[in-house]
Every structure is written in C-alpha cells, then in structure tokens.
Amino acid sequence: MTISTLSQQLREGNLFSKQCPSREILKHVTSRWGILILIALRDGTHRFSDLRRKIGGVSEKMLSQSLQVLEQDGFINRVSYPVVPPHVEYSLTDLGEQISEKLTLLADWIEINLPNILSRQEVE
C-alpha cells in the first residue's frame, strides 16, 4: 500500500476536476485583489478606505466585491459600526491568517526573483 502526501492527492485528485469546489476558493484567493487584500490585512485591522489607499489601482467596486467573497469564504471578518458616516473594519480570521502566510511567501519569492524574471522576459 502506498501512502501519498496531500499535495500528491491534490495533483491526482479533485483539484483538477471541473466540478471541484476548491477551484472556486483557489480563484478567490489567487485573484489579483484577493492576494493583495489578504497580504494587506496581515498588518492588522483596516477600514475600507485604508485598504483602498494601500492597494493601488483597485476600484471601489472590485475591492468591495473581493472583500465580500473573501468574507463568505471565511478568510475575513467584517465588523460594521452603527455610526454616521458608516464605519466598517476588516481583519483576518484564523483561516485568513493561515492562507495569507502562504501568499506572503509567494509574494516574497516573486519580489526576490523579480530581476531574474524581468531579465528573462526581455530576452523573449
């Protein structure tokens, strides 16, 4: 009997299946805005406007949609305070902390290897 690792099971298993629900989660987490939101929230709780300033180039609509999806997936806590003007804060859940740690490793790898990547792009 062969014991396989989780990564082997994922490579051979449902992740590649068209109907696998993990694909949708993967899409949410690895979207351009999803990654940046999850990494930005590693610094702690942020208000919507703080996140929008921190994540250059994201529209209000895309930030709102991405936050909503990540909240539905259980990666983000959203706390709304009943004041005028509205005050909403976002923070990571335990699951969000775990996935943002992995995404930070990926982002760090990209930053470290960026000169090499860019030089290869210039060759082609």
Question: 30: closest CA among 39, 17, 19?
Answer: 39
Report how far residue 124's alpha carbon sits from residue 122's, in angstroms, rounded to the nearest whole number: 6
pLDDT at 110 over 80: yes
Domains of the chain: 20-120 (1.10.10.10)
Place of tokens 């999850």: 38
The structure's pTM equals: 0.83
More confident residue, 16 or 26: 26
What residues pair up with 80 in beta bridges, in sequence order?
88
Residue 7: pLDDT band with limits 50, 70, 90: low
Helical segments of the chain, H only: 6-12, 21-30, 32-40, 48-54, 60-72, 94-123
Q: What are the distances in angstroms from CA 26 to CA 15, 30, 69?
A: 9, 6, 12
82 phi-psi bin (left φ>0, alpha ψ -120 to 50, beta other): beta
Residue 19: pLDDT band with limits 50, 70, 90: confident
